[in-house]
Amino acid sequence: MTAWPDHPGVKLSGAPNLDEVKKTPGYPAQKYWKKGSLAFIECVEEIPCNPCESSCPQGAICVGTPITNLPVLDAEKCIGCGKCIAACPGLAIYIKNYTYAENEATVTFPYEYWPIPSRGQEVSLVDEMGDVVCQGKVLRVVNTKQNNHTPLVTCSFSKEFFERVKSMKRLPKRNN
């Protein structure tokens, strides 16, 4: 397991670092994590884009006008339903649940690669740099027509890595 990444951020390493995402109004503060399922939006640049806003049935995401505004997450309203994950064209949103179990949390993220994992599978979970953080277990894979070919994968993992885990390591190609 590699050390927590200390990298220069989105314009140099490609991924926004923790400082950059924490500064945005879409990343929920730690005090809200005990609520349970919650959206984490890592949108750090102003581009004209707002499907996250209209996708939220609770009205918990606000972009407003101009549509270049960074999305603001109202963590009180957010119920972590995950509708925003597939709505985001940048795949910049994931859902995390800090309270899943005593020692475990869950993460639900978009995964648009083949093969997609199956329920029960053990996978490696990665941080924003693609480095392996810990192992995780696939609890659920949702690939509905509504999500328009963006499968959503939910994994449980050890709570100590809660903030660092963002996605899973891509699976090797299966030979048919």
Nearer to other proteins, 4 or 114 (CB): 114
CB of residue 127 vs other proteins: minimum separation in angstroms? Answer: 7
Residue 52: helix, strand or coil by DSSP? helix
Task: Classify the C-alpha dihedral 62-37-24-2 as positive or negative.
Answer: negative
The 8-class DSSP code of residue 22 comes to H
Nearer to other proteins, 118 or 148 (CB): 148
The 8-class DSSP code of residue 47 comes to -
Nearer to other proteins, 34 or 173 (CB): 173
CB of residue 175 vs other proteins: minimum separation in angstroms? Answer: 10
Question: Alpha helix (H) ranges present in 98-145?
Answer: none
Query: Please, what is the end-to-end C-alpha distance for the chain in angstroms?
Result: 31
Contacts with other proteins, residue ranges (CB under 8 A): 10-16, 42-51, 54, 66-68, 87-92, 112-116, 126-131, 148-151, 166-167, 169-170, 173, 176
Nearer to other proteins, 128 or 163 (CB): 128
